[in-house]
Amino acid sequence: MSAVLAYKKTASPEVSAKEVDRLVHLHAPLVKRIAYHLLARLPASVLVDDLIQAGMIGLMEAARRFDDSQGASFETYAGIRIRGTMLDELRRGGWLPRTALRKLRQLTEATRAAERELGGEASPEAIARHLGMDLDSYYTLVREASEFGVVRFADLGNEEDEPWENGIADSGPGPQAQVEEDNLRASIAAAVDLLPPREKLVMSLYYEQELNLREIGEVLGVSESRVCQIHGQALVRLRARLGGGA
């Protein structure tokens, strides 16, 4: 997974309509899987069709901007964008729990502080100490926040705003906006590649191989709940490393 999201800091080339259609058709099941995964934690009034519709828009955006000459992983790139557009839809409808967003910020700041103190990768135990809680409580917090812990291009470097409270729409097609997004892709590529091995593997299995949490648990020999914790921890770690100042 060393090439995940590996984009150079140059504008993406035009992608043919035929190739966009192929990528969208091939990865449509990924949209449904992510939608149902999110739906399990949301109020009954949220319709899965609304999430799928938003996710398909994210998938089409990913397909139009994808550059396969850079050796990138389309599945992981698309998965992150799909979840981001679904969360945007939830934000617009007022369905994102403020408590989950506060927990996400709390975890992000503690992870950043622990890694700054250690000068590198912080273990769950080290992060839990920064939060002043035991390990079981830490993992509970990760699990509760992980459903909404997706990394979005628009959120990176914008930690002053509450995540998704003041959501920033994708920038227009101008050359400056394109260069900025390419730079962010490159940053995400480097950050994903430096995740701890197990976190990086879960990201690969979830987004690239399109395994669900139960199937990943079978591969790793751990419970589905543990996979959820690892996945959430990876997303929080990415936010901590890519976000703005604490």
CA distance 165 to 98: 9
In a domain, 232, yes or no: yes
Question: Over the stretch 155-182, which tens digit does the pLDDT of each residue have?
Answer: 444 443 343 333 333 434 455 555 555 5
Residues 6+ apart with CB under 8 A from 191: 238, 241, 242
pLDDT of 166 reads 36
pLDDT of 1 reads 42
In a domain, 96, yes or no: yes
The share of the chain scoring above pLDDT 90, in percent, equals: 26
Question: Over the stretch 76-97, which tens digit does the pLDDT of each residue have?
Answer: 778 878 988 888 888 777 776 6
pLDDT of 206 reads 81
DSSP, res 170: P
Residue of higher predicted confidence among 117 and 38 = 117
The share of the chain scoring above pLDDT 70, in percent, equals: 70
pLDDT of 91 reads 77
Separation of first and last alpha carbons in the chain: 29
pLDDT of 246 reads 38
Structural domain of 81? 17-242
In a domain, 157, yes or no: yes
pLDDT of 203 reads 85
CA distance 78 to 206: 12
pLDDT of 128 reads 94
In a domain, 4, yes or no: no
The total number of structural domains in the chain stands at: 1
In a domain, 12, yes or no: no
Q: How confident is the model at residue 52 (pLDDT cuts 50, 70, 90)?
A: very high
Residue of higher predicted confidence among 184 and 220 = 220
Q: How far is CA 96 from CA 46, 148, 182, in A?
A: 11, 8, 28
In a domain, 9, yes or no: no
pLDDT of 69 reads 54
Per residue in 130-156, is it b (16+ CB within 10 Å) or e — as a string? bbeeeeeebbebbbbbbbbbbbbbbbb
3-class state of residue 156 by DSSP: coil
Residue of higher predicted confidence among 123 and 144 = 123
In a domain, 70, yes or no: yes
- Least confident segment among 20-34, 143-157, 177-191, 229-243: 143-157
In a domain, 226, yes or no: yes
pLDDT of 126 reads 94
pLDDT of 158 reads 43
pLDDT of 83 reads 85
Tell me the average pLDDT across 44-56. Answer: 90
pLDDT for 6 beyond 70: no
